[in-house]
Chain A
Amino acid sequence: MHHHTPPPHPEPVTLPVNRTEGCPFDPPAELARLREERPLTRLRYPDGHMGWLATGHSVVREILADRRFSSRQELLHSPIMDLGELPPAMVGDLTGIDAPEHTRYRRLLIGSFTVRRMRALTERVEQITTEHLDAMEREGPTADLVEAYARPVPALMICELLGVPYADRELFQDHAATLLTQSADEQERDTALTALHEYLRNLVLAKHTEPTDDLLSDLTAADLTDEELTGIGSLLLVAGLDTTANMIAHGTFALLSNPDQLAALRADPDLADQAVEELMRYLTIADPGVRAALEDVELDGQLIRAGECVTLSLQAANRDPSRFPDPDTLDLRRKATGHLGFGHGIHQCLGQQLARVEMRVAIPALLARFPSLRLAVAPEDVPMRAATNIYGVERLPVTWAPVTWDEGEADGAQRRP
């Protein structure tokens, strides 16, 4: 046992959430200063809890991998807003529980999300992207990329995988969005969750009587109660609807804002896999994570006491210059492996291999279809999502109309052919 006194703590901070205007891809600037001074520092939570904020890549990674830190929802405090005492995670919600309960659920699912099985879906993703690009072309030459492409492609994929009729999307899409909105109050969340569970519960019952070739039907044969299966289905649906969609849209925005990188990807399709990893690192749209110490843990020369929460800033970790040189530059050729964009530890994203296939297909296909793709508004007029667990753009107005003299470079380089 150590009995030395930890060094005096500087004044606790609150979680920086405001991004610098005109920098839609960069984390709040304050995070970089904190990371440099004290990669693990005291954080005052909105509900009064006194815990920690981790911003350094190595310390964030270490905590995510350390089973002395719990994901149990009832032990957590929100670093964003005062949510009062949190209830235990809903039945079937893998993200808010620890081993061994987590292990049991996760093991039932991982066979359905392997690298091999997800890659086998490549052709189907290609078909869906082609259909949507065709529709964009017919209705163009402008579109909101979110509505026309980024949202429907992953939505169709997760629906097909789970066995959820896409035609029912009115019944679940808005509720799913509400659950990821930080500003939604308790009543709004309850209403959304109840409606979503109601929908999934009926679907699970239907799969019992009339199984189809999909994950939900397969899982009816597993050792799960209908309540558990409803919860798991809801989680997978929400997770599949709003994550990759934001990566496709926000990733496209990032590429359009970095013409040299866009050109590199267009010129070298083999760059696509690396590009996906780098966009995941650079954008880190799912952030932050929170864990609670189950016992006293000494880390980085500081003592985290049992019960204290640690907020893990994945976006700060992914911009840590000690791990990624020149971290604020989007560089599709860098080795971004080891980024924490999908998390780390036992809760690392279950659907990451599906997400990779979707991004890997959808982003290059879009660029290939519309060689003159560009923003249809000024970059500062792209509406960004606020107060959501998944960052990104609300809409991304794009055009691929032939470039006119007015828009073209002064030397006429982009003149109409």
Chain B
Amino acid sequence: MELSVDRERCVGAGMCVLGVPEVFDQDAEDGRVLVLDAEPPPGRRASVRLAAGVCPAGAITVRE
């Protein structure tokens, strides 16, 4: 799984952090997405896909 985020698109809703805090965080200053783990382990990939799916700004891309 290849995970990338577009911080220009991010609107800081926090849905990804809510769903998978092990993989996503928000920058303490600007509130936008940060990736903590760009190669999430197999057991976490389903929730990463879900997080990408619910991102309101389409800022998360997952390639497999």
Residues of chain A touching chain B, judged by Cβ–Cβ distance below 8 Å, are 64-65, 106-107, 109-116, 337-338, 342-346, 348-350, 352-353, 356
- Contact yes or no, A114 B11, CB < 8 A: no
Contact partner of B17 among A109, A114, A337, A345, CB < 8 A? A114
* Interchain Cβ contacts within 8 Å, total number: 69
Q: How far is the CA of A109 from the CA of B59 in the complex (A)?
A: 18
Judged by a CB distance under 8 angstroms, whether B56 is at the interface is yes
Given A111-B28, A112-B31, CB of A65 within 8 Å of CB of B12: no
- Contact yes or no, B58 A65, CB < 8 A: yes
For the complex formed, measure the closest distance between the CB of A119 and the CB atoms of chain B, giving whole angstroms: 10
- Contact yes or no, B50 A115, CB < 8 A: no
- Can you list 29 A-B contacts (CB < 8 A)? A65-B56, A65-B58, A106-B12, A107-B30, A109-B31, A110-B12, A110-B26, A110-B30, A110-B31, A111-B29, A111-B30, A114-B14, A114-B17, A114-B26, A114-B31, A115-B18, A115-B21, A116-B26, A116-B28, A337-B50, A338-B50, A342-B13, A343-B56, A344-B56, A345-B56, A346-B56, A349-B13, A353-B14, A353-B18
Judged by a CB distance under 8 angstroms, whether B40 is at the interface is no
Interface of B is mostly: loop
Given A106-B11, A348-B11, CB of A115 within 8 Å of CB of B56: no
- Contact yes or no, A111 B56, CB < 8 A: no
Judged by a CB distance under 8 angstroms, whether B36 is at the interface is no
Residues of chain B touching chain A, judged by Cβ–Cβ distance below 8 Å, are 11-15, 17-19, 21, 25-32, 50, 53-54, 56-58
- Contact yes or no, B31 A113, CB < 8 A: yes
B18: which A residues are within 8 A, CB to CB?
A: 115, 353, 356
A342: which B residues are within 8 A, CB to CB?
A: 13
